A and B are shown apart, each in its own frame.
Chain A
Amino acid sequence: LNFKEAFSVKGYDQMDVYYEEVDTKELSIDTTKIKNFESSFTKGFGIRAVVNGKTGFAFGNDLRRLRDTAERAVKLAKFSNVEVKFEKFSKYPKVDGIFDKKLIDLDEALLIELANQGLDFAKDKKCSAPAGGLIASTGKTVFVNSEGLDLEEVSSRYSQHLEVKKKDAPGWWFSDSNSFSAKYLDVVKGACKMAELNSVKDTIKTCKCAVVLHPFACYRMLSNGVYPLFNSDYVQKGKSPYAGRIGELIASKKLTIYDNGILPNGLNSGAFDGDGVPCQKTSLVEKGILKNFIYDLTRAQKEGVKSTGNAARAHYSPPHVSISNFYIEPGHRDLVKEMDKGLVVYMPLNAHSIDPVTGHFSLGVDVAFWVEKGEIKFAPKNVMISGSVQEFMKNIKEVGNDFMQTGKYAGPSLMGELNVTGS
């Protein structure tokens, strides 16, 4: 696969090619049975061409049409207003734990055995399992540009999830990692335990109280309400309330946050980003003080700063700025055990309605538990949580000693105070 052949077309100043391929195998569970296997192999490439400072983009799946696609990108450049100058870098980090070769050609029989073990356990616990799955994928990314960069990286992902129901009480659990794990049973146990806790229902009164957001909830709420605030694209468009506030206290002193693109075993770690820029660890917040925003080349050059290696890219679209791993340093305390009275939230509903501009939210809750003296007492009915994510970040009282990677969130449970609407 010689992607540099694209560079033989005429009429451009700079060019890059980003290629990706993914091989996936998925076992699905449906109505307490193994339903089927699905397998897919997808590949594609995207090409950016810079002509007189303007960037054109085209993509395709058919490698025989690499040159055609490059010509399209050149032709489209004059209609664009995206300005970028490609750069060359010489040093790249070595990132551990992003590829597990066990996930190439994983044996179907093994996945079936793990799934059956899990389903037997759920049955013993008197839980039905409406849906679930085990998904293994491996992928390769290639990046070349006309400045001489020629990069390649392999990665892998293993995800397992299960939804269960005990009578009418739902429970679910999932786990994501870059390497194979034979512990599907842990996911099943997590789901069954949640269903069990969920089957004890009661009501609570409307109050302002201590709230612990489990990493599952942090993932959903922060990705919508907080990640964009650090994104230079938002900042430059005047949409981030953090704009112009570097060096100011914007969050609780308990909070230290990094965008860590080279986190070992990180779900979104890698050696290079979609611009071919080396990935790095960028300090965003240090003990509550705003330190930096995240950049890709386009946005960095606009401000005359260095890219932080945050160009996210898929073959079918030009790069955009995105968090890699939103890493929050864990603390030393078990937040639920130390809670006197309050709510621990696992799954808020409709978190995509959080408006990052105002930070305001009021969300229904799918899974949350009422805690008294460090013990989960019951699942309150019809609760909503409301407040502002920006205020929540300011008022975090404690960060937990747990740590979980889910989506782009890599951090502990967080405790603060929110309005809780009860029955």
Chain B
Amino acid sequence: LTAKRGDQLQRDFFTRYSKYSKDFENYEDELVDTAKHVVKLLDAKLPPSGKFKVLLDSKNTGLFAHEAVGHACEADFVLQEGTILQGKLGEQIGSEHVTIVDDPSAFQWGSYKYDDEGVKASATKLIEDGVLKNYMQTRETSEKLDMDVTGNARAQNYNHLPLPRMSNTFFESGKYTFEELLKELKDGYYLVRSGGGGEVAVIEGTFTFSCGRVYEVKNGELGKLLKGVTFSGKILDVLRNVLGVEKKKPKFSFGYCGKNGQRVPVGDGGSHTLVSEMYLGGES
């Protein structure tokens, strides 16, 4: 949706993919909500730029799980020595609140029964309580790394060779309520919805994402609506700086991942996640 007033233009959007028809039942509500917000965002200010404590919603938690952690756990990058998670198996790389799983057998957008090399799909714990546990493998990478296959070989179609790819990648639920996390955040920003995805440099371990809306949080209370913004950080710093995850079951959002020019459907998810430090690229 695009709103215009005078010379001011503002855009907001939502997308939805699902295997369940019930996920489209409140489609109109979201449309109306987006319309209301695109108008409100016309007048909204940008958040400041700098380092802040932030609370990520499920969308941005899922984005972090997929883009920042998931890609760094793909075994082809490990073999290319092209990921910061190479050589760190068994190490405590994140806080105890971080458990990240890739599960093609969960019935979500990135699901399948067998991967594209005929390996049965099953859940793979990538990080458990902050410890790096596994990478996502094809038959080729598992042979070279002398590890088990994980059922993550995927190709876009017959035209392509299978690569290690994600399926449904998510942060497992933690032990806090949303209110507890807000209270713990105290003063900072609540980053909501997508602003159009993100990009990661897995060699250096840096990421840049954008969110669609931001709320100021003061003294543990939700405040003013601000425009969406780019946020960035170092993957390992953020993993260490996770202060807590909401106990609600992970909410998935659905999309496509385009690694090496091959488009495959993926799901990513999580619930609210509190991070002690994140760079916001707002108003200087």
Interface residues of A, Cβ cutoff 8 Å to B = 30-31, 38, 40, 42, 128, 130-131, 163, 165, 168, 170, 206, 208, 237-239, 241, 349-353, 355, 357-358, 360-364, 366, 382, 384, 386, 419, 421
Contact B230 A364 (CB under 8 A): yes
**Shortest Cβ distance from A30 into B: residue:** B80
Distance of A208 Cα from B49 Cα, bound (Å): 13
Chain A residues with CB under 8 Å of B227's CB are: 360
Contact B195 A353 (CB under 8 A): yes
Contact A170 B282 (CB under 8 A): no
Contact A353 B196 (CB under 8 A): yes
Distance of A407 Cα from B281 Cα, bound (Å): 27
Contact A238 B81 (CB under 8 A): no
Chain B residues with CB under 8 Å of A168's CB are: 203-204
Q: Can you add 4 more A-B contacts, CB < 8 Å, to A30-B76, A364-B199, A386-B282?
A: A130-B203, A355-B11, A386-B230, A386-B281
Distance of A402 Cα from B27 Cα, bound (Å): 50
**Best-surrounded residue of A130, A163, A208, A352 (most CB of chain B within 10 A):** A130
Q: Tell me the minimal C-beta distance from B258 to chain A in angstroms.
A: 11
Distance of A170 Cα from B81 Cα, bound (Å): 11
**Shortest Cβ distance from B281 into A: residue:** A362
**The 7 A-B residue pairs with the shortest CB-CB distance in the complex, in nearest-first order:** A362-B281, A364-B208, A130-B80, A353-B210, A362-B230, A350-B208, A349-B208
Distance of A353 Cα from B54 Cα, bound (Å): 20
Q: A239-B2, A364-B206 are in contact. Are A130 and B81 (CB under 8 A)?
A: yes
Contact A350 B209 (CB under 8 A): yes
Q: Tell me the minimal C-beta distance from B118 to chain A in angstroms.
A: 20
**Is B201 located at the chain interface by the 8 A CB criterion?**
yes
Contact bitstring B201-242, A, C-beta under 8 A = 1, else 0: 101101111100000000000000001011010100000000
Chain B residues with CB under 8 Å of A349's CB are: 199-201, 206-208, 232
Chain B residues with CB under 8 Å of A131's CB are: 80, 82
**Is B7 located at the chain interface by the 8 A CB criterion?**
yes
Q: Tell me the minimal C-beta distance from B203 to chain A in angstroms.
A: 5
Distance of A353 Cα from B204 Cα, bound (Å): 21
Q: Tell me the minimal C-beta distance from A106 to chain B in angstroms.
A: 20
Distance of A363 Cα from B230 Cα, bound (Å): 7
Contact A364 B207 (CB under 8 A): yes
Contact B196 A362 (CB under 8 A): no
Distance of A155 Cα from B210 Cα, bound (Å): 38
Distance of A355 Cα from B195 Cα, bound (Å): 9
Instruction: Please pick, from B4, B9, B229, the residue contacting A362 in the complex, using a CB distance under 8 A.
Output: B229
**Is B198 located at the chain interface by the 8 A CB criterion?**
yes
**Is B10 located at the chain interface by the 8 A CB criterion?**
yes
Contact bitstring B71-111, A, C-beta under 8 A = 1, else 0: 00000110111100000000000000000000000000000
Distance of A194 Cα from B52 Cα, bound (Å): 32
Contact A241 B204 (CB under 8 A): no
Chain A residues with CB under 8 Å of B279's CB are: 382, 384, 421
Chain A residues with CB under 8 Å of B79's CB are: 30-31
Chain A residues with CB under 8 Å of B209's CB are: 350
Instruction: Please pick, from B9, B10, B204, B229, the residue contacting A170 in the complex, using a CB distance under 8 A.
Output: B204
Chain B residues with CB under 8 Å of A238's CB are: 2, 4
Q: Tell me the minimal C-beta distance from B146 to chain A in angstroms.
A: 16
**Is B159 located at the chain interface by the 8 A CB criterion?**
yes
Contact bitstring B170-202, A, C-beta under 8 A = 1, else 0: 000000000000000000000000011111110
**Best-surrounded residue of B77, B161, B284 (most CB of chain A within 10 A):** B284
Contact B281 A384 (CB under 8 A): yes
**Shortest Cβ distance from B227 into A: residue:** A360
Chain A residues with CB under 8 Å of B206's CB are: 349, 364, 366, 382
Q: Tell me the minimal C-beta distance from B228 to chain A in angstroms.
A: 9
Contact A350 B9 (CB under 8 A): no
Contact bitstring B104-131, A, C-beta under 8 A = 1, else 0: 0000000000000000000000000000
Contact A31 B197 (CB under 8 A): no
- Within B225-268, the residues touching A (CB, 8 Å) are 227, 229-230, 232, 234
Contact B80 A421 (CB under 8 A): no
Q: A168-B204, A170-B201 are in contact. Are A128 and B196 (CB under 8 A)?
A: no
Contact A350 B230 (CB under 8 A): yes
Contact A38 B161 (CB under 8 A): yes
Distance of A241 Cα from B11 Cα, bound (Å): 13
Can you list 11 A-B pairs with a CB-CB distance of less than 8 A?
A30-B80, A42-B159, A168-B203, A241-B9, A355-B195, A355-B196, A358-B11, A362-B230, A362-B282, A364-B232, A421-B50
Chain B residues with CB under 8 Å of A386's CB are: 49, 230, 281-282, 284
Q: A352-B197, A382-B279, A386-B284 are in contact. Are A363 and B208 (CB under 8 A)?
A: yes
Chain A residues with CB under 8 Å of B201's CB are: 170, 349, 366
Chain B residues with CB under 8 Å of A355's CB are: 11, 195-196
Q: Tell me the minimal C-beta distance from B189 to chain A in angstroms.
A: 14
Distance of A165 Cα from B201 Cα, bound (Å): 13
Contact B9 A358 (CB under 8 A): yes
Chain A residues with CB under 8 Å of B195's CB are: 353, 355
**Shortest Cβ distance from A29 into B: residue:** B80
Q: Tell me the minimal C-beta distance from B225 to chain A in angstroms.
A: 16
Q: A31-B79, A382-B279, A421-B284 are in contact. Are A350 and B204 (CB under 8 A)?
A: no
Q: Tell me the minimal C-beta distance from B48 to chain A in angstroms.
A: 11
Q: Tell me the minimal C-beta distance from A38 to chain B in angstroms.
A: 7
- Within B128-170, the residues touching A (CB, 8 Å) are 159, 161
Q: Tell me the minimal C-beta distance from B273 to chain A in angstroms.
A: 20
Distance of A386 Cα from B229 Cα, bound (Å): 10
Distance of A421 Cα from B208 Cα, bound (Å): 13
**Shortest Cβ distance from A206 into B: residue:** B284
Distance of A237 Cα from B9 Cα, bound (Å): 13
Contact A362 B203 (CB under 8 A): no
Distance of A237 Cα from B4 Cα, bound (Å): 12
Contact A363 B281 (CB under 8 A): yes
Distance of A350 Cα from B76 Cα, bound (Å): 22
Chain A residues with CB under 8 Å of B197's CB are: 350, 352-353
**Best-surrounded residue of A30, A355, A419 (most CB of chain B within 10 A):** A355
Contact A350 B82 (CB under 8 A): no
